Structure 1
Amino acid sequence: MSVGNSSNDDGHGVTELGYKQEFERTLGNFHTFAAGISYISILTGTFQMFYFGFSVGGPANWWSWPMVFAGQLMVALCFAELSARYPVAGSIYNWSKKLGNPHVAWLAGWMMLVASIVTVASVALAYQITLPQIADFFQIAPDSAVNAVILGSVLIVFSTVVNAWSTKLMARINSAGVFIELIAAVLLVVLFAFEIVRGPQIVLDTAHKGDGVTLGYFGAFLVGSLASAYVMYGFDTASSLGEETVDPRKNAPRAILRALIASFVIGGLILLLALMAVRNINAPELSTIGLQYIVIDVLGSGLGKVFLVAVAIAITVCILAVHTAAIRMTFAMARDNNLPAGSWLAKVHGKQRTPVRPAVLIGLIAIVLLVVNIGQPQIFQLVTSIGVVLIYVAYLLVTLPMLIARLRGTWPGKDAPAKGFSLGRWGLPVNILAVLWGAGMAINLGWPRSEVYNPTPPFHWFLQWGAVLFVGLVAAVGFAYYWFVLRHKSGVLADHAAEVPAVVAEEAV
């Protein structure tokens, strides 16, 4: 594996895909790293999902964190290679298009887009489990579901305005938020370390969670591993900002890998030391409130609330990153006329060169999805869980065509940049592992378990089978619309097509 100096072609790979450069290249190395790590969001993910993993798998569920990291690292290494070649907006969509065919690419982009919009809404709900614990002021409405929608809507409006106004502003806020999040995460690790009351062997305690479960504790562990799988994705965002990044063929691969590795190390330590520091490992609050309870329990209400403020900041920049990724995916597909009203959505506005219309549209859809949470929390929980399944399937629609290309001997191809990130001889085994991991995790995530998709009454078969039904519906309906309507007019819109050099045009004549 190696990272060399990037190629300085005029489009940094954009022109190779037939597009002209439309965004300003203002984002540096830390900006792209921050985009990837804020999408993963160590504090948001661990604080939002700890209770679920612990309630299903007990302390031993900690091992799902390194397991998911190992699998996602294989995917990230493949993406790092691709980002060195094609650091473009809508990375998943464009990578699949170059590796496979336009039909598979559309499906990959569509699934990633739907999942990203759903994720914007689901992450916004995390405000409800954090802000009211900081101050009663944030409990605006007495009903928790209504209050969650109010807080989440305010956050989405903020993200919409920032993303529509300026990429520079988004990057500055995101970078500042990530800086605070990283400092808070490291301090949390240190403070937990000073308060430990038991040894690391706690991660061997299954708490009898396998009793009465199919496959015993392994079955419980597979369910609990979803808590980690729900966190470690989104690192491809670093490449999706490639058209706005300085020297993207060098910065994007590094940002992808650094974001995932940093999240694994710091997040893993937080989870481990939290288990070692909590006063009562059998406290029922661990399975209902989660890490928020541990922070207050170990550090006290005063200092604990300071860290909850950091969690709130992490949630804020996480929303910014997810929203940004969804905007870039919308823009990328729209400029290929592969979405309804493509030319309208692909318009880049203003001096700051931002896609305003996708930002506003995604924000509105996310708020509508939030409203579903009022009175129908089971439906919303189902949809948000399935959003993660869609992301893993979208990733698989990149790594699988990449593996086929390797087996056919067409990767990396004659037009690969002379210098950049390369797996070399490790490419094939890493790619095989990435495909096996992606397929296995997609099945695990979508398996019709009542404890995941229908944990509370009323119990309905269609809720339990929601992942299979919803993913199938999104894929079938979306692809049918593409096949019968969009594909007949698909192609790079004239306003976004790369200009043909005069010499080339004369030779063609």
Structure 2
Amino acid sequence: MTSTPETAVAPPATASAGDLDADDLSEFGYEQQLHRSLGKFASFAAGFSFVSILTTIFQLFGLGFGFGGPAFFWTWPIVYAGQFLVALCFAEIAARYPISGAIYQWSRRLGGEVIGWFGGWFMMIAQIVTAAAAAIALQVVLPAVWTGFQIVGDDPTLTSTSGAANAVLLGSILLVIVTAINCVGVTWMSRVNSIGVICELVGVTAVILALFTHARRGPDVVFDTSVPGQQPGYIWAFIVSGLMAAYVMVGFGSAGELAEETRDPRRVAPRTIRMALTVSAVGGGLMLLGALMAAPTLGEELAIGGLPYVLDSVLGSFWGKVLLCDVAVAIFICTLAIQTACSRLMFSMARDGRLPFSAQLSHVNRRTGTPIAPSILIGVLCIGILLVNVGNSAIFATLASVCIILIYLAYLAVTGPMLYRRFQGWPHRGGVDAGGKKLFSLGRLGIVVNALAVLYGALMVINLAWPRAEVFDPAGEMPILRWAGPICIAVTVLVGIACFPRGKEHPKPVTFPAS
């Protein structure tokens, strides 16, 4: 393998932190092109805003409750526990490979070029679709704040003709704005994102306080297994309801995507990866519990209306609209964070010559220190995906759901090869950062944690891809949609095979055993 600074001797204390980070990066064969300006909070904000619990729980509460009833709450800590195992693995490898395009770089250095390329490919496709899905959520929020936001027609319902068209318009405007911010530079992106994260944290705190101070029942509601929907046995319903948490708790590894723009990434990224997931899990869990305790009813109204129905009954019209404005901010920064992470992944793969038009996609503007072409391309592709909602909202919703499967497959492309390398002695002891401090390590627990992370990821992929009509084709109009998961995976693999750079030697090949 190309040499790594994992066991390097600490450099002289007179060197600046920026020089140390640049020298550290050069050990992997890359020059410092991106501007390194992100601190600890900005790194945390990148992961937290990708998860964006205020956005996702606002959208998906009804999905979990509709299948599992109040006891679906327990799927939240279960999914968090599984994802935290993955986060621990990510934290360990982020300390050793602080390179942009985290999933791609990590998986190729542990599993080889083919696994690495497809890990990056899966993650890139998923992020593009996820960004489009986040942007379209503005239609659920803005027309409810002010009817003037319903520019096309007068029916704001996302599945109606006018609602679908207006959703594409609002989402496209949002994507143009976040693309412009990403083109200006990472400093402005981090400023906007950090302000947005502060607003979202304030909003989450306000929601939790409002729900708990208007509780109608005690916390024992989470043991109620009554099911609003029609499911053959509660265990099956409970498993399906877990999709809600699985959809939400992804993207916490974004701190690794921005490693080349983060100061002291070997220490900062591992910490913020774990923190972004844990803060999201605690805040989201309290929101779920508070909503169940404060809901006017635990019947079909809650399954249909979700969290907005609860908040409207608790806060009333005025404060409810104030909160909707905060949700709109959360949607904005969520879309920004996803596009930023995806652009760095695309840049990293193109820098290695692994994508079509790599020369253009890997170019970094010297003034802004930003890869502009990937940001513009991602924005255009996201708008193109949004247009699907005009023709068929059911297909768009299905695409948004199944793309999460690709994220979990990308995660497995890291944790699977990592487990295999552990049996070969990875990681070697004595790893230090550029300042000579020990790197984050799982130590003797590494194999156990890693094995459980792989098992969890495999089970989650099966659960997400399972052909359920009630999830992928609830209206019963397109039976083929229930197989959307396997079809999506097959199509992504086939297109990936067509795009794979066959016959091109990697400029920085990996050799094994990995260090």
TM-score, normalized by length of structure 2? 0.90
Equivalent residue, structure 2, for 1:430: 449
Equivalent residue, structure 2, for 1:410: 426
Equivalent residue, structure 1, for 2:5: none
Pair 1:35-2:46 in alignment: yes
Alpha-carbon distance between aligned partners in 2 of 1:191 and 1:346, rounded to the nearest angstrom? 47
Contact 2:431–2:438 under 8 Å retained in 1: no
Alpha-carbon distance between aligned partners in 2 of 1:346 and 1:197, rounded to the nearest angstrom? 55
Equivalent residue, structure 2, for 1:256: 273
- Matching residue's letter, 2:242: S
The Cα shift of 1:414 comes to 7.5
**Structure 2 SS opposite 1:233:** coil
Pair 1:420-2:439 in alignment: yes
- Matching residue's letter, 2:356: P
Contact 1:323–1:362 under 8 Å retained in 2: yes
Pair 1:331-2:342 in alignment: no
- Matching residue's letter, 2:252: F
The Cα shift of 1:307 comes to 1.1
The Cα shift of 1:211 comes to 5.3
Alpha-carbon distance between aligned partners in 1 of 2:94 and 2:281, rounded to the nearest angstrom? 21
1:39-438 equivalence runs, <5 A: 39-142=50-153, 143-209=162-228, 212-213=231-232, 216-282=233-299, 284-412=300-428, 417=433, 419-438=438-457
- Matching residue's letter, 2:506: G
Contact 2:228–2:303 under 8 Å retained in 1: no
**Structure 1 SS opposite 2:248:** coil
**Structure 2 SS opposite 1:432:** helix
**Structure 1 SS opposite 2:140:** coil
Equivalent residue, structure 2, for 1:3: none
Alpha-carbon distance between aligned partners in 2 of 1:207 and 1:231, rounded to the nearest angstrom? 24
- Matching residue's letter, 2:29: G
**Structure 2 SS opposite 1:26:** coil
Equivalent residue, structure 1, for 2:483: 465
- Relative to 1, partners in 2 of residues 1:360 and 1:39: Cα closer, same or farther, differing over 3 Å? same
The Cα shift of 1:415 comes to 6.6
Equivalent residue, structure 1, for 2:513: none
Contact 2:295–2:302 under 8 Å retained in 1: no
Pair 1:475-2:486 in alignment: no
- Matching residue's letter, 1:425: R
The Cα shift of 1:12 comes to 6.2
**Structure 1 SS opposite 2:447:** helix
The Cα shift of 1:23 comes to 1.1
Contact 2:356–2:499 under 8 Å retained in 1: no
**Structure 1 SS opposite 2:387:** helix
> Any gaps of 5 or more consecutive residues in structure 1?
1-5, 494-509
Contact 1:402–1:431 under 8 Å retained in 2: yes
**Structure 2 SS opposite 1:11:** helix
Contact 2:21–2:263 under 8 Å retained in 1: no
The Cα shift of 1:193 comes to 1.2
The Cα shift of 1:36 comes to 0.5
- Matching residue's letter, 2:486: V
**Structure 1 SS opposite 2:292:** helix
Contact 1:134–1:305 under 8 Å retained in 2: yes
Pair 1:25-2:36 in alignment: yes
Alpha-carbon distance between aligned partners in 1 of 2:474 and 2:28, rounded to the nearest angstrom? 46
Contact 1:38–1:321 under 8 Å retained in 2: yes
Equivalent residue, structure 1, for 2:7: none
Contact 2:347–2:371 under 8 Å retained in 1: yes
Equivalent residue, structure 2, for 1:491: 506
Contact 1:44–1:314 under 8 Å retained in 2: yes
- Matching residue's letter, 1:340: P
Contact 1:164–1:359 under 8 Å retained in 2: yes
- Matching residue's letter, 1:222: I
Alpha-carbon distance between aligned partners in 2 of 1:355 and 1:474, rounded to the nearest angstrom? 25
Equivalent residue, structure 1, for 2:4: none
Contact 1:389–1:445 under 8 Å retained in 2: yes
Residues 386-413 of structure 1, C-alpha deviations (whole Å, 9 max, x = no match)? 1100000000000000000001223347
Contact 2:36–2:260 under 8 Å retained in 1: yes
Contact 2:21–2:264 under 8 Å retained in 1: no
- Relative to 1, partners in 2 of residues 1:338 and 1:490: Cα closer, same or farther, differing over 3 Å? farther
**Structure 2 SS opposite 1:489:** coil
The Cα shift of 1:477 comes to 2.5
- Relative to 1, partners in 2 of residues 1:466 and 1:403: Cα closer, same or farther, differing over 3 Å? same
The Cα shift of 1:15 comes to 2.4
Alpha-carbon distance between aligned partners in 2 of 1:209 and 1:457, rounded to the nearest angstrom? 19
**Which deviates more, 324-333 or 11-20?**
11-20
**Structure 2 SS opposite 1:19:** coil
**Structure 2 SS opposite 1:398:** helix
**Structure 2 SS opposite 1:458:** coil
> Any gaps of 5 or more consecutive residues in structure 2?
1-9, 12-16, 154-161, 509-515
Alpha-carbon distance between aligned partners in 1 of 2:507 and 2:367, rounded to the nearest angstrom? 23
Contact 1:97–1:104 under 8 Å retained in 2: yes
Alpha-carbon distance between aligned partners in 2 of 1:174 and 1:182, rounded to the nearest angstrom? 12
Residues 279-302 of structure 1, C-alpha deviations (whole Å, 9 max, x = no match)? 2222x3422231112111111111
**Structure 1 SS opposite 2:100:** coil
- Matching residue's letter, 1:327: S
**Structure 2 SS opposite 1:38:** helix
Alpha-carbon distance between aligned partners in 1 of 2:369 and 2:505, rounded to the nearest angstrom? 24
Alpha-carbon distance between aligned partners in 2 of 1:51 and 1:413, rounded to the nearest angstrom? 47
Contact 1:180–1:310 under 8 Å retained in 2: yes
Contact 1:235–1:260 under 8 Å retained in 2: yes
TM-score, normalized by length of structure 1? 0.91
CA RMSD of aligned residues (A): 1.7
- Matching residue's letter, 2:277: L
Alpha-carbon distance between aligned partners in 2 of 1:273 and 1:19, rounded to the nearest angstrom? 48
